[in-house]
């Protein structure tokens, strides 16, 4: 493993989002928002990225990024359309953010190996193992450490755009140089919280935290819908459902167990237990748990180059 030309501490750093769609843009704007905020400035012993590149294919995506990064004029963002090689050549750190089945299109191209040499490539792709990415770049050939890039997996979520991502960083084996570990922590703590877990647990982390905001949004919407059905205006119902979930999360984060929260609210003979029984009859708890299990299994299929993996569901 090398930490040569792009080792933190050696000049201004450029971070490229190689595939900057829904997640990539959430990460990019989350980082830009964080580093633009003087109150969040922190001293580091290494050089943090100050220049950014966003890679896309279409004009439409290019315009979308342009609009999204406009408020952060203090940090230059270059948007490149179908110029991936140029982006990687200019970058020190690359975040790979395409769809899992597109890896070859982005990485198995002439010149890419050389452009990646000695650099840090962080993949946020669901289900694609480090070995698969390395295999795509080097076509299965043995490459000396000094000539290769270092591939790391991380699994953030779209709440990155509001600084509330939950990112799992896969523990590399062999361990990364400390300065790269610190740089990766720096990147993902700009956009939320991080945990480090073995690579073998990336699929369940993808389901719980990567997909999780979608599951939570369904719960949020269901709560608001019920209130709308009973006559509350949509805007108030949405605001109240948000605050209810936020408050519940704060209690849980302070150590209150979910069962205790539930029991404390349920007055004997009251309305809460009445509502809870409906949820239990519908097996909401088991269904949520099974959705995470299902998403974990599907995540593990995503890196196999197969599309329509949900079609295998029984």
Ligand X SMILES: NC(=O)C1=CN([C@@H]2O[C@H](COP(=O)(O)OP(=O)(O)OC[C@H]3O[C@@H](n4cnc5c(N)ncnc54)[C@H](OP(=O)(O)O)[C@@H]3O)[C@@H](O)[C@H]2O)C=CC1
Ligand Y SMILES: O=C(O)[C@@H]1CCC=N1
Binding site for ligand Y (CB under 6 A): 126, 206, 210-211
Nearer to ligand Y, 154 or 176 (CB): 154
> Scanning the structure block, which residue is given the tokens 């591939």?
151
Q: How far apart are CA 114 and CA 85, in angstroms?
A: 10
Q: How far apart are CA 249 and CA 144, in angstroms?
A: 48
Least distance to ligand X, CB of residue 71, Å: 20
Q: Map residues 191-230 to x or -, x wherever contact with ligand X holds by CB under 6 A.
A: -------------------x--------------------
Categorise residue 192: left if φ over 0, alpha if ψ from -120 to 50, beta otherwise.
left
Q: How far apart are CA 225 and CA 243, in angstroms?
A: 15
Task: Residue 125: name its binding partner from ligand X, ligand Y, none (Cβ under 5 to 8 Å by kind).
Answer: ligand X
Nearer to ligand X, 66 or 82 (CB): 82
Q: Does 121 bind ligand X (CB under 6 A)?
A: no
Least distance to ligand Y, CB of residue 126, Å: 4
Q: Which residues contact 12 (CB under 8 A, 6 or more apart)?
A: 47, 50, 51
Instruction: Give the binding range for ligand X (CB under 6 A) out of 53-61, 178-186, 274-282, 304-312.
Output: 53-61
Per the annotation, binding residues are 18-23, 84
Q: Does 66 bind ligand X (CB under 6 A)?
A: no
Q: Does 97 bind ligand X (CB under 6 A)?
A: yes
Q: Are 93 and 118 in contact (CB under 8 A)?
A: no
Least distance to ligand X, CB of residue 110, Å: 14
Q: Does 84 bind ligand X (CB under 6 A)?
A: yes
Q: Does 106 bind ligand X (CB under 6 A)?
A: yes
Task: Residue 15: name its binding partner from ligand Y, ligand X, none (Cβ under 5 to 8 Å by kind).
Answer: none
Q: Are 132 and 161 in contact (CB under 8 A)?
A: no
By CB under 6 A, what part of segment 19-48 binds ligand X?
19-24
Q: In 165-233, which ranges are continuous DSSP H helix?
A: 178-189, 202-205, 212-229
The edge-to-edge listing of strands for the beta sheet with 120-123 is 77-81, 49-56, 13-18, 93-96, 120-123, 150-155, 165-171, 192-198
Q: Does 158 bind ligand X (CB under 6 A)?
A: yes
Nearer to ligand X, 8 or 127 (CB): 127
Q: Which residues contact 141 (CB under 8 A, 6 or more apart)?
A: none
């Amino acid at each position: 493993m090398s930490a040569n030309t792009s080792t933190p501490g050696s000049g201004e750093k450029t971070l490229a989002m190689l595939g900057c769609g829904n997640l990539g843009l959430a990460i990019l704007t989350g980082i830009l928002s964080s580093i633009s905020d003087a109150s969040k400035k922190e001293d580091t012993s290494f050089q943090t990225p100050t220049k950014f590149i966003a890679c896309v294919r279409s004009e439409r995506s290019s315009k979308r990024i342009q609009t999204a990064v406009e408020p952060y004029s203090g940090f230059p963002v270059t948007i490149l359309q179908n110029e991936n090689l140029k982006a990687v050549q200019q970058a020190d750190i690359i975040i790979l953010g395409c769809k899992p089945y597109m890896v070859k299109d982005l990485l198995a191209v002439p010149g890419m190996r050389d452009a990646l040499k000695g650099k840090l490539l962080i993949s946020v792709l669901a289900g694609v193992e480090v070995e698969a990415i390395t295999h795509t770049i080097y076509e299965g050939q043995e490459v000396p450490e000094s000539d290769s890039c270092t591939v790391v997996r991380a699994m953030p979520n779209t709440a990155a755009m509001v600084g509330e991502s939950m990112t799992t960083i896969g523990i590399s084996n062999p361990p990364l140089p400390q300065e790269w570990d610190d740089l990766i922590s720096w990147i993902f703590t700009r956009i939320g919280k991080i945990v480090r877990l073995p690579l073998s647990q990336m699929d369940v982390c993808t389901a719980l935290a990567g997909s999780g905001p979608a599951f939570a949004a369904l719960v949020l919407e269901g709560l608001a819908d019920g209130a709308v059905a009973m006559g509350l205006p949509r805007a108030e119902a949405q605001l109240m459902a948000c605050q209810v979930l936020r408050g519940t999360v704060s209690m849980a984060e302070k150590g209150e167990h979910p069962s205790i929260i539930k029991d404390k609210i349920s007055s004997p003979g009251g309305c809460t237990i009445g509502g809870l029984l409906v949820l239990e009859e519908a097996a909401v708890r088991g269904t949520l748990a099974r959705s995470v299990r299902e998403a974990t299994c599907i995540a593990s299929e995503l890196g196999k180059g197969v599309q329509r993996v949900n079609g295998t569901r029984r």
